[in-house]
Amino acid sequence: MIDQYTLQNPVTQYPKASPRMKQQQPSPGLETEMAPKPDAGEESYRGTGRLAGRKAIVTGADSGIGRAVAIAYAREGADLVLSYMPEEEADAKEVIELIQAAGRKAIAVPGDLKDEAYCEQLVETAVKELGELDLLANIAGKQVFVEKIEDLTTEQFDATFRTNVYSMFWLCKAAIKHMKPGSTIINTSSIQAYKPSPGLLDYATTKSAINTFSKALAQQVADKGIRVNVVAPGPVWTPLQVAGGQPPEALPKFGEQTPLGRPGQPAEMAPAYVFLASAESSYVSGETLNANGGTPTP
Ligand code: NAD
Ligand code: MG
């Protein structure tokens, strides 16, 4: 079994991109319909009690990186409120079963993060159903490839900013009111924040905004004992990429340009989110942890 605990060569730990990866689904895409299937650590992630008793919200929890983080957080001992879109119920069902199998609470609250009232409802549900809220992992994101600025609509530009930036703002704002010292917030940026692809104009711009927002907010809430950090993944095999995130013809080479020469898997992202959530990272705030296959970052 591939896992994160055995010494092995990271170059060959997971497969390189291949022609099998050329596929397309309508947005938002379902993990249950992908082949090859991403590895979210379903079979492999081992918890060691690092988040025992924690009460968390995870957005984008049905698939990809959010799924891997939800599984890891539950196996580390956290109870969870899960955010995802109503049309992703098939993916979410699998995640809910895995969380329950870990003996933790999984409260499903599907909805649209572009809506401020839904973001507030997520926080209220966490406080009501879990008793408190001390961990917010903003992982949901929208990425739609558009080659030319002439074809990038105001509707898409707005939806990308609402999904990636506004929802983070609304959720942080609502969550911080309830957070006691020791609580942690983790936002999700991307290698796109530093090395933007020309066809990801709107998306890449939101990802640098997320880094900057997190560095400012981390300073603002430091005296409350709340830490804010960021994970910036590189190319990771998830539904986002096969549902309009990349032109399908680019998928057979996905991740090839990284120093490790292959795409990452969601299972390789989750440990970064666990580290930044847990008290192990107590002296780390305002930081971006890049998990990108070795590409240098500023
Ligand atoms: P994914 O498609 O599995 O997850 C994205 C999730 O965002 C969806 O499952 C969906 O539930 C949620 N979402 C999108 N719009 C929403 C809305 N309006 N309301 C509610 N939920 C909504 O893909 P992923 O790659 O795991 O993406 C997770 C995060 O990782 C995103 O922030 C993405 O930008 C970031 N990221 C991904 C990669 C990559 O290569 N996959 C690289 C860098 C950063
Ligand atoms: Mg999904």
Could you tell me the residue ranges of all domains in the chain?
46-141+154-234+269-288
Q: Which atom of ligand 1 is nearest to the CA of 243?
A: 2
Beta strands (DSSP E) in the chain are 55-59, 79-83, 106-108, 135-137, 184-188, 227-233, 288-291
Per-residue pLDDT, 4: 87
In angstroms, what is the C-alpha Rg of the chain?
Answer: 18
Residue with tokens 């895409």: 29
- Binding site membership of 85 for ligand 1 (Cβ less than 6 Å): yes
Which pLDDT band, with edges at 50, 70 and 90, does 37 fall under?
Answer: very high
- The pTM (predicted TM-score) of the whole model is 0.99
Per-residue pLDDT, 1: 66
Cα(214)–Cα(136) distance, integer angstroms: 13
Instruction: Express each pLDDT in 118-155 by its tens digit.
Output: 999 999 999 999 999 999 999 999 999 999 999 999 99
Q: Which atom of ligand 1 is nearest to the CA of 65?
A: 26
Instruction: Express each pLDDT in 171-202 by its tens digit.
Output: 999 999 999 999 999 999 999 999 999 999 99
- Binding site membership of 160 for ligand 1 (Cβ less than 6 Å): no
Other beta carbons less than 10 A from residue 233's beta carbon:
25
Coil, strand or helix: which one is 50? Answer: coil
Strand-pair partners of 184: 135, 227
203 is catalytic: yes
Instruction: Select 46-141+154-234+269-288's CATH number: 3.40.50.2300, 3.20.20.70, 3.40.630.30, 3.40.50.720.
Output: 3.40.50.720
Predicted confidence (pLDDT) at residue 156 exceeds the cutoff of 80: yes
Instruction: Express each pLDDT in 44-55 by its tens digit.
Output: 999 999 999 999
